Each structure stands twice: as C-alpha cells, then as structure tokens.
Chain A
Amino acid sequence: MNVVHPFEGIGASVRRKEDRRFLSGRGQYTDDINRPGQLYAHILRSPHAHARIGAIDTTAARAMPGVEAIYTSADMAGIGGLPCGWQIHNKDGTPMAEPKHPVLAEGKVRHVGDPVAVVIAATRQQARDAAEAIEVEYDVLPAAATLAQAQAPGAPAVHDDLPANLCYDWHIGEKAAVDAAFAQAAHRVVFETTNNRLVPNAMEPRSAIGDYDATTGEHTLWTTSQNPHVIRLLMGAFVLNLPEAKLRVVAPDVGGGFGSKIYHYAEEAIVTWAAHKLERPVKWTSDRTEAFMSDAHGRDHVTRAELALDKDGKFLALHVQTQANMGAYLSTFAPCVPTYLYATLLAGVYSTPAIYAEVKAVFTHTVPVDAYRGAGRPEATYLLERLVDVAAKQCGFDRVELRRKNFIATDAFPYQTPVALQYDSGDYFSTLDQALQSADWAGFEARRAEAKARGKLRGIGISTYLEACGIAPSAVVGSLGARAGLYEVGTIRVHPTGSVTVLTGAHSHGQGHETTFAQLVADKLGVPVANVDIVHGDTAKVPFGMGTYGSRSLAVGGSAMDKAMDKIIAKGKRIAAHLMEASVEDVEFERGTFRVAGTDKTKALAEVSLAAYVPHNYPIEELEPGLEETAFYDPKNFTYPGGCHIAEVEIEPETGRVQLVNFTAVDDVGRVINPMIVEGQVQGGVAQGVGQALLEACVYDEAGQLVSASMMDYCLPRAEDLAPVSVATHTTLCTHNPLGVKGCGEVGAIGSPPAVINAVVDALRDYGVEHVEMPATPQKIWSILHRQQS
C-alpha cells in the first residue's frame, strides 16, 4: 500500500533530498565533468573599456606548448550575434535599438572583459600562457561607464550608429491623468535615488563544455544554466544554426544563479563551435575575477520620482522617470527588466489611481546588465518604499499609518492597477499587523533609548511590498515584446510498481526542487518522497521547458506537474474501474488509492500502474498501456507575493558602521509546500537584500575600469553582517493556479533593501538626514555625520 508516513505532502518540512549529495561533495557540477580527449579554452578579454582593435598577432602564441587553436572574430564569420529575447518599443512606437552582440569582439571592444580571442590548448595553464602571448593592438578610446557619462553631450558612442547611446525611451501609464492629479494635490514629494549596480556572484563560477560526435553529428553542451532548453533554442537557432535534434544541452548540478545563469553567454557558443571544428571536447571554466567582468550584472538605475498626496495622505498620482544602464550590449532579457518587471510594479500595495513612468535605457562601456534576484521589482520596491517614508516625513504622517491608509483593500481583489497588472489576491493589512507585532514595533523607542545609552544610534524601518512573479502568461508577455512563451512542462512517469519519475522543465540551482516537487507527488498521488525522482536540466530527457527564474518553478512548473498528475489520475480511474468492475464515474482517488465510492473496494496506485504496464486484464481496446502523462501549463496571470519586512539597525557614530540587529519578514507566498525551504529561500533573499543595502557596490572608474573586480573590493554579506531573520508567512491563495502558490525565491531580496535603508535613515533622525544611498557603508555614514557636525 502507498501509505505516506510520516506525512510528506504539502506543508511538511521534508529535509532536502539533494543535500546529502551537495554536503558530501558529490554533486556533479559542469566543471566536475571531463570528457575523453578534452581540451581547455581560455578567453582573452579586453583590458580596456573602449578601444578599436588593430592587428591581433597570434604567431608566438600558436607556437606555444599544447596550443591546438586560437580563434578571433575573423575565424567565426557567419556565426550570429548573441540574441536578445525581449523587444521593447519606444514612446513613438519604433523598436528599441538592438546592436549586434558578437560572440568575439568585432573591430571594437566595449567593456573591460569583452572577449577578444579564444585559445584552446591541452591544459588550462597552457591556454592561459598562450593567451598572454597574443599581441593585440588597441587604439584606446574615451569611455562612458555611468549613466551620466553616457548621456552627457558628446559622450563616447558605445555603438557607432547610436550617437546618443539610447537603447529605448519607453513609457507606461496615463500622463494626462497624472498631470491632472498633481495639479490639485495638497502635497508633492520628490525623491531621487540611485539603485546600486550589483554583481551576482553565484558560488559556482560559470563553466561550459562543448562536445561533438562526428559519427552522429550530435552536439552536446554542458553548461551552468538555469534554463537549458532556452539555451538550446537561442544558441541553436540564432548563433550556430544547429537543429534542436542535433543539439543536446545539459545543465547538471548548478551552484547558484540568481538570474546570472539565465542568459546565453558567448562562452557557450564558443565551446560548442570549437568542439565541432576541432572534433575534440572543449571546456571553459570562469575564475572569480573573470566572473566579475563577464557575468551579467544587476540593477544600476537612476530615478526621479514624484508623489502627489491629498491633505489626508491619500496617494493621488505617481510620476517616475528612470534611467537604466544596459551595459555595452543587450543581454538576453535585459530590456524587459527596467520596463515590464519594474514600471508595472510601481503601484506596489497601494491604490494610487494614476501612475506614469518613463524609462530610458542607455548603453555604457560596462558589462551587460540583466535580471538579478528580483529583477526590476527590487528597484521598484526600493523606490516606492523609500518614497513613502520620505513623504511621511515631509508631510508629517506616521509612516505605518500612511501605508495602511493607502493599501489596496482586502476585498478589492481582483485589483486592476494603472500600470497593466491585475492582482488576484492579497491581504496587506494582515502581513503588516503580524510583522509589527513580531518585530515589537511598539517597543522600539525603549530599545532606541537603551542603545543610545551604549553610544549607538538605533533605527527601525519598514517596507510593505508586492512583487509579480510566476512568469508568465505567454500571450501577455508576447504582446509586451517577449520573443518566447513562458509556460512550463511536466511529465509524470508512474513506473510499473508505482514509483514515479518526474521530468520538469524547471531547473534547480539551490531551490530544493528535488524535494518540493516530490512532495507535490507525495501529496497528490500518495507516493513516498523517497520513491519520487525529479529529473531536470537535460534537453535529451525533459520534453521542453523554460527554466527557473522569476520565482516561477512552483507556480508554473509545479502547476504543469499538477495537471499531468490530473491526467494520470483520470487514466488510472479508467484502469481501476476496469479492475474493480465498476463504472469510471464511481471511482474516486485520494492519495494513492482508487476506491469505488461508498464501498470498501480499492486498488492501490501500484496495482493500477502494474496493470497498465502488464496489461493482461486491461481495457486494451479503449486505452493505451502505460502510465505516463505530460502537461504544458501556461499561467493565466502573474502571481503576486507580498508582505512586510521590518529591519532594525544600530549605527556606531564614531566609525559609521551599520549593524543589522533584527530582521522580521512576514510574507504571503501563497500555499507553502515546504516551510523549511521557504524559510531558507526568504533568509537567503534577505541576505542578498541586506548586501545591496549595506555592503555591495559594483564600482567603475571614470575610464571604465572595474574597480570592484574581486572579493577584495566587492563586499558580499558574511554571517556577522546579518542578524537573526525571523520568517513567517500569512497565506492568501493564488486564485488562478491549481496549487494556490505564488513563489518565494525573490521576496527576500525585493522587500528587504528599503526596510534596511528606512531603518538607517530612522537611526539618523536627529541629524536631519533625509536619505542615504545604497550601500550604506561606514565611510558614507561617517561622511554624513561628519558633515552634519562640522
């Protein structure tokens, strides 16, 4: 019998099945894979932000030991540029500028780290040695690394045919309605801010191995990807012109992504192409410094926002003007981040009736910028939640009450925002109240006074936020410029004796899918978690899939599995009805058991599956043997997790050091499958959000050199930078997917940065400080205090 004991279904904190493998060092990451006869690629990268490439002399390098080949863009003629998966249109309806993103630089380099040549040798060291012997003539040109530099009159052009460096000038919302509302507003509050550029820093650096079987003509690419099918599609169709049937992409164990491993990168195309050319496997693995200058970066916005309020504090209108740094080329999903993943979120949890947002995307001589944990939504949330605090302060409202006053009412769902989205469910009052209580908001002033006695400035900050994830309805995103569908695929294969293999197009790179997805099967089909295997990350095994990002795996991928399980149950009922000599309409199914309603006649799933594969007593005339079903699930809407984050900090005035001392998160992520995994996801997200707020800054100098190119200068959060993160959930169900789930992967990184900065500003309330830009480093805080004192 399939009795699930102890309970492993939805809501159980089942320990992660994958952790034994990971914690004992037996994960199989791309760099752990070695193919017979494998060669190693080293990429020679530009040391300059902007230069014209003259002669490339590879004579000496070619003569060096172990060198098999050296390629430059001249050798890759006919190879397509790296495609962009999303097309944004300008205010005037014309499409965005989409300059070619060559696999190897053609004529010019446009950022430090731009690939110029590739050396392929017998060992990694030999490849690197030879790369150092390549002589490249660079005619160094002035560079523009920042948004301000790139938009200044006479700025150096990143792409010759684009003198203004403008990728697009886009807008959303009703300008006239916003203007009218501002005209009669009692209060107008202006807030300007920079959302700091970040470097994702997954624990595992990117790696790729290309292999080619000349006897079958099959190409295989092992790569550190969050979405192998997407890479197969993009690289096969747009770059190398390979048919899907001859291209297998495998993303084995992947050690973190945070978005940075969504995109199709040049190195994937290089090793696949070179493996074919040389008929030898070719491996490339990034080192950490290389990762800093070649993995897509995140954020990097400059924004001016203005909020109109009536005399009672009701929000009347919001006008936002944002400039977004795209970097030197368009990464795969870059254009949609500051538009449809950002400006559409500007209503937040508030019933602001009129919103107008304008976004200019600008090319600069920097590493391309793309989605990074939260992608657009952290930028929107940070802007809104800082703006609300600034408004409360300037207009004399209590910051909590101002939020409460403007919340979308709990009975107003579905709620149509003025910026395209329609929220299906939420309860912002409950998450707020629960967080206020959990964080002891009311008792804060006593803690502040106690801290003051110790010479510390203590502050508390709040953020009430919402995000849109579970991306996405294909027709909707298609109409907004996406060049892909965003459904997901799930196959449920019930084996003859009742164990289950699940094939999913979602990809796990730290999220614990092997456990959570198995729990879905345990809950619905009654198969123990130990007997459910999750297969992902291989285009040769999984029918299709769009991968994992945007907190979509459960909401979209899980829903596909659920639909496939519905088909399994429907077929199983027909088999069971035959076995029990009952009418199919009378057969019920619950957690592993088929029963003739109102009787004690039952058949276990394993008996039914055995009959399906050994069809001796089987309705063979009307039903195919076997018990395997596939479903494609295309979501009807985004999902809208939200909640309340409260941060408490202490500042040491002598040094300016900010210490997070307490963090409370109460999130509505919809139905929770595994509370332990949700807690871990939120804590990890909060750690990244605290990193953005207090520590992390990707810094380019005036010449476009990447100053923060290693951990020596780029400050990731360490354990001691964090505080206990209290995680709780308050659930309203998603109304449009079968599981009622919303997603939890990004809420931590989205909700936390403004809570932390609001706490920092609150700590400095006696110093007349209006705002502190992220990251709030010791030096920055000291400078503010020092300025105030002198």
Chain B
Amino acid sequence: MYDFAYHKPSSLAEAARLLAADPDAKAIAGGHTLLPALKHRLNRPSSLVDLSGIAEMRGIRREGDSLVIGALTRHEAVARSSEVKSAIPALVHLAQHIGDTQVRNRGTIGGSVANNDPAADYPAAVLGLGATVRTSRREIPADEFFLGMFTTALEPDEILTAIAFPIPEKAGYAKMRNPASRYVMAGAFVSKGKMGVRVAINGAGPCVFRQAAMEAALAANWSPEAVAGIKQSADGLNSDIHGSAEYRAHLVSVMAKRAVQAAG
C-alpha cells in the first residue's frame, strides 16, 4: 500500500467536492475491492474519500412500487432485510451468497455496482430488474449504466447514492462460482414485471449483459424449459484456467434455467 490522504466527509456535497478537487482521489465504501488493490499496489490514489459517514446514502425503503436501497447498505443488511424479502426475495438470495461472512459484513451494494466487476453479483440484479441508479447528480437507467469491464456511466466525481429496484412479479438468480475465488463464473438474473421480461448474465462476459434470445423465449413461455435449450454464443466470453468461454456459454443456459426455476 502506498501512502494516501484520508477524508471522511459527512455529506454527499462535501464528498463530491473532495472528489472533484482531486482527480486522483478515490471514493471508498466497504473497500472490498479497493483495499486488496491498494495492498497489492495495483492502485495509487492520492486520497481516499470514505463515504461511510454520509447518512443520506444509507437505508432500505419502499418508494411506491420500487424498493430503494442506499448505496452504503452492506450485503449482510440486504440479506437480513424483511423489507427486501417481502418485495424482491431474489435479492435476499443474491446477497446471502456474496463472498463469505466477512465480505458480506463489509461490502456495500453501491461499491459493487459502481465497481462493475464482471464477476460481481449485484450488477446482474440491477440490469436484470431494470433498476435505476441514483447518483449525486442524476438518475441513470440500468441499461445505460454498465458500459464495459469495470466501466460505468459514472463521471469521476459522481457518487452512486442509491439503487431503485422496480418490484417485479417474479425474479430469480442462479450462479456458478469460480471454485477458487468464489466470484461468479456464470450467473443469470431473470425477472418479469412492469419492466418486461429481463435476463441479465454476469460472470460469463467482460461486462454484465442482457440475453435477448432468452428474454424473447421467456416472454412467450415463462418456464425453465424455455431457456434451457437456448445456447449462448461463446464469442467474446471470458476464458481462464477455471472456465473456458465454451464452458461459460454452457453454464449461462444452465444458470438461466435455474434462475427461472428459483423465480417460480
């Protein structure tokens, strides 16, 4: 780890100011991606802006037919939330299966979504539910938020504050974990509701993406069998020692089927 300055603002405005004033500053929430990167000296921010003191970024609440989760909400809080469980049980399931106990007690939904690791869980839910990402300056639809590997529509000094999930009729999530890291090797988040039928695939490609053929099939026939036979092309998928692109492509169909099964 290299030396850095440390700031702990108590308001969103102050945090945004700190980030705008220093292009080499980095925001930190739970730190579960950034801290290991710092320890490995893979990142050298001049300062860290710790968001944990910002009250307005916390909390889980219903807003009409949406469930709004503050960016600083830890995975464990989502996993244990009766509010989330009654609105979108698939999110509880997802949160319960992120990393391990230590990760769930530190990592935040905002950090996970803003980081957009291709192997993270939350981006699949955000895209698969057609959520809206709220930031310090605007609202961004999920379809416009995830731009590529570790890349989002967020500007450097823009802070993700909350995510508004439309409450679906049905939703389900299934994933195959990388045996070593336990990150997602291939996962599918499916939903049906006022946002239509949506299938978001994570882990398999460089960025979470929607699977159009599966969405069409499920729109016509919401059943596990409808997606089980749809083959995902291996072109452009990730490949490593744990899973070739072909294996990941196969897993996409299996996980989509299981996600539909889980959704009921």
Contact = CB atoms under 8 A, between A and B. Distances in A.
A712 interface: yes
Given A289-B40, A778-B179, A782-B247, A713 B242 contact: yes
B21 interface: no
Contacts of A786: 250
Nearest to A721: B179
A782 B176 CA distance: 13
B176 A778 contact: yes
B174 to A, nearest CB: 10
B254 A695 contact: no
Q: How large is the interface on B (under 10, 10 to 19, 20 to 34, 35 or more residues)?
A: 10 to 19
A715 B179 contact: yes
B241 A699 contact: yes
Nearest to A711: B180
Name, among B3, B40, B251, the residue most crowded by chain A CB atoms within 10 Å (CB to CB): B251
Interface string A753-790: 00000000000000000000000011100110010000
A583 interface: no
Contacts of B247: 778-779, 782-783
A714 interface: yes
B9 interface: no
B180 A712 contact: yes
B251 A655 contact: yes
A697 B251 contact: no
Contacts of A34: none
Contact of A714 (B3, B180, B251): B180
Nearest to A778: B179
B181 A713 contact: yes
Interface in A713-729: 713-715
Given A125-B1, A707-B241, A782-B250, A712 B176 contact: no
A713 B185 CA distance: 12
Given A125-B1, A654-B254, A786-B250, A713 B176 contact: no
Nearest to A780: B247
Nearest to A128: B41
A713 B254 contact: no
Nearest to B100: A718
Contacts of A708: 180, 241
B244 A779 contact: yes
Contact of B176 (A289, A655, A715): A655
Given A699-B241, A777-B242, A715 B180 contact: yes
Q: How large is the interface on A (under 10, 10 to 19, 20 to 34, 35 or more residues)?
A: 20 to 34
Interface string B222-264: 0000000000000000001111100100110010000000000
Nearest to B253: A654
A707 B241 CA distance: 8
A711 B247 CA distance: 22
Contacts of B2: 129
A777 B251 contact: no
B104 to A, nearest CB: 15
A657 B240 CA distance: 17
B256 to A, nearest CB: 12
Contacts of B179: 695, 715, 777-778
Interface string A691-715: 0000101010000000110011111
A315 B238 CA distance: 48
Nearest to B180: A715
Interface in A659-715: 695, 697, 699, 707-708, 711-715
Nearest to A696: B180
Contacts of A695: 179-180
Contacts of B243: 778-779
A779 B181 contact: no
Nearest to A701: B241
Interface in B100-153: none
B180 A713 contact: yes
Contacts of B181: 711-713
B179 to A, nearest CB: 5
28 contacts: A125-B1, A125-B3, A128-B41, A289-B40, A654-B254, A655-B176, A655-B251, A655-B254, A657-B176, A695-B180, A697-B241, A699-B241, A713-B180, A713-B240, A713-B241, A714-B180, A715-B179, A715-B180, A777-B242, A778-B176, A778-B243, A778-B247, A779-B242, A779-B243, A779-B244, A782-B247, A782-B250, A783-B247
Interface of B: 1-3, 40-41, 176, 179-181, 240-244, 247, 250-251, 254
10 cross-chain pairs, A with B, having the tightest CB-CB distances, nearest first: A715-B180, A712-B181, A715-B179, A654-B254, A779-B247, A713-B180, A699-B241, A779-B243, A655-B176, A782-B247
Interface of A: 125, 128-129, 132, 289, 654-655, 657, 695, 697, 699, 707-708, 711-715, 777-779, 782-783, 786
Given A655-B254, A779-B242, 16 more contacts: A128-B41, A129-B2, A655-B176, A657-B176, A699-B241, A708-B180, A711-B180, A712-B181, A713-B180, A713-B241, A715-B180, A778-B176, A779-B243, A779-B244, A782-B247, A786-B250
